[in-house]
Structure 1
Amino acid sequence: MTPLFPLLNSSAARTCGRGKMSAPVVKMAGRCFYQLYKLSNSAGRLASGKTGIRQFSGAVVKNAAEPWRLLGAACVQRLAVISADQRPLEAKFSELMNQMELERSLMSDHELRLLDDKERLRRRQAVDYDSDEEEEADRDQDIVLTQDLEDAWEQRLKGFATQPRARGVVDARLERADRCLAEPLLLLTQQEVGPERLWMLPQTPWEAGETLKTTAQRALSATPGLDLQTVFLGNAPCGLYKYRMPRSVRDREGLTGVKVFFFKAVVSGPLPPPAPSSLWVRQSELKDYLKPSYLEKIRPFLLNL
């Protein structure tokens, strides 16, 4: 290809050298012409298609423009109602801390009075005991010893019956929200996804004119038989799960895939009765009901309280 700007020939260079232009200026002008020469050759290669730049096909641009279906999902947890049992290490540490607190603490008024009573009894049992040395207040009234008080308290304690610590209902079906009171539970509902029925968080498609949080709230109210009072923690989604549609569905419906936005919520009212097609599952049981890719997206924002 003929260059757009030919290089200066030797005669032109000699002519510039005999004029007023100095040698550095001639050198700079030569560089400018050389850069223009390289640009002209690059333009020629682009026009002929001989270039190292990666070309993007029209199919990629077309797929990027296809829409996604948006869904709102509610991650509802029933937090622990009672404290969990201490593990052996925790029980040993608690015992150690109680012993250290007892050794470093000051005596209470009751303990000081108990020491005074012991000293008074020691003086009375002595051989050289003189009752005139006792104060008039002690002689005028009967002294109630601290040991007598402790005996009375012991009798009252024996008559007090403690209630057993609640451990949950005997009927430990997964449909009940009052099971496993010492652990948080997660609400799962069974929904149809294509030809399958899968367990997942309550979800529903987004509708125009509503926020994604409103969509998640509507997903709870649309669950059949679920009478639940909840509080949503914030207005922004806490997680996202997306997947692509099969090729046949994409060609038929013109959708790239589905994006599910999760919103976190906790049970704020009475525990609901069992509802059909819904489960209350512990975190250790989620792997038995959720797909691994789905579980991987929701596990980071689960509350373990």
Structure 2
Amino acid sequence: MWKIFAGLCVRRPAVVSPELSPFQRRVQDLLTEMELEKSHLSAHEVRHRNDLERMAQMLKDGHDVKATHKSEASSSLLTAKDMEITWKAFENEFWEQIGDVGVSDKSTKEGLTATAWRKLDRSLVLVTRQRLGKCLDWGLPVLEVTGDDTLRSVVEHLAQELLPPEARCTIVGNAPIGMHKYFYRTEDGKKQGVQMYFLNAYVDKLWHGENVNVDGKSESFAWSTVDELSNYLTDRSFLKRIRTFVVDY
């Protein structure tokens, strides 16, 4: 007889776009150059050109540009350059609020993996430390299927126990995305098989993920990138199986 477990692959999507690789940057530069060569001026660029031409004409005629600009009822309140400065200020304010958390390894070096508000340019996966029988080990969160329960009903119950309402967890589909099986010896020496079926789930990417309901609190769960999974999973066959469906994209 097999013991059947249903598990969740809980993902926190990337919050910001990842940095481009050197090859991607070269392709981007090439496409940008081609687009520039084949494109017409945008409305903003036309406005900026007209602003420059109007101010140049005013200077040529000996007018005070600032005084004339204020007196002209037909002129816009902001020039195109003023708008660019405003947009740049908004961008700087955004990155000041975000800080370097999305692109640095500071949180990882300090061991702060019990939060989803790290590695914002990468997708993260929730791993928990659970006791299955006598074994206490890291893995994806699972719950045993008993009675007339289905895989979907079990993972829904698991999500309710594990994640708070503000996580806005969404379970995708009814079919598992991956399966792992193994055998162990019971106390009477019999061979017992275990099958684990995993379903995809996503949480709100702006949720910080610090209040996961597990035993031991922050010491019993972590938000891991694909590369960091090997720091937690000791079963290499299990790790190999997980990496078939937990990928960066």
Q: TM-score, normalised by structure 1?
A: 0.59
2:184–2:192 contact (8 Å) kept in structure 1: yes
Residue of structure 1 in register with 2:4 after alignment: 70
Residue 89 of structure 1 deviates from its aligned partner by: 2.5
Using the alignment, how far apart are the partners of 1:220 and 1:96 within structure 2? Answer: 46
Cα distance change, pair 108–280 in 1 and its aligned pair in 2 (3 A): closer
Using the alignment, how far apart are the partners of 1:298 and 1:304 within structure 2? Answer: 12
- Partner residue of 1:162 out of 83, 88, 92: 92
2:51–2:79 contact (8 Å) kept in structure 1: no
Using the alignment, how far apart are the partners of 1:159 and 1:78 within structure 2? Answer: 29
Cα distance change, pair 256–91 in 1 and its aligned pair in 2 (3 A): same
1:283 pairs with 2:226: yes
1:213 pairs with 2:146: no
Higher relative contact order (CA 8 A, sep 6+): 2
Q: TM-score, normalised by structure 2?
A: 0.71
Q: Percent identity?
A: 26
Residue of structure 2 in register with 1:175 after alignment: 114
Pairs aligned (count): 215
Residue of structure 2 in register with 1:82 after alignment: 16
2:51–2:80 contact (8 Å) kept in structure 1: no
Cα distance change, pair 303–249 in 1 and its aligned pair in 2 (3 A): farther
**2:199 corresponds to which letter in structure 1?**
F
Using the alignment, how far apart are the partners of 2:91 and 2:195 within structure 1? Answer: 56
CA offset digits 1:66-112 (Å, max 9, x no partner): x1111111111111011111222222322222222111112456279
Residue of structure 2 in register with 1:272 after alignment: 209
Using the alignment, how far apart are the partners of 1:99 and 1:80 within structure 2? Answer: 28
1:234-249 matches, cutoff 5 A? 234-246=173-185, 248-249=187-188
Residue of structure 1 in register with 2:64 after alignment: none
Cα distance change, pair 145–108 in 1 and its aligned pair in 2 (3 A): farther
After superposition, the CA RMSD in angstroms is 3.7
Residue of structure 2 in register with 1:64 after alignment: none
* Secondary structure at the counterpart of residue 221 of structure 1: helix
Residue 298 of structure 1 deviates from its aligned partner by: 1.7
* Secondary structure at the counterpart of residue 178 of structure 1: coil
* Secondary structure at the counterpart of residue 244 of structure 2: helix
Using the alignment, how far apart are the partners of 2:88 and 2:223 within structure 1? Answer: 40
1:1-305 matches, cutoff 5 A? 67-108=1-42, 110=46, 114=50, 117=53, 149=79, 162-165=92-95, 166=98, 167-168=100-101, 171-172=107-108, 173-223=112-162, 226-227=163-164, 228-246=167-185, 248-249=187-188, 251=190, 256-268=192-204, 270-275=207-212, 276=217, 277-290=220-233, 291-305=235-249
Using the alignment, how far apart are the partners of 2:158 and 2:85 within structure 1? Answer: 57
**1:297 corresponds to which letter in structure 2?**
R
Residue 179 of structure 1 deviates from its aligned partner by: 1.0
Query: Structure 1 regions of 5+ residues with no counterpart?
Result: 1-66, 126-140
Q: Which has the higher strand share?
A: 2
1:240–1:260 contact (8 Å) kept in structure 2: yes
Cα distance change, pair 168–155 in 1 and its aligned pair in 2 (3 A): closer
Cα distance change, pair 200–160 in 1 and its aligned pair in 2 (3 A): closer
Residue 159 of structure 1 deviates from its aligned partner by: 7.1
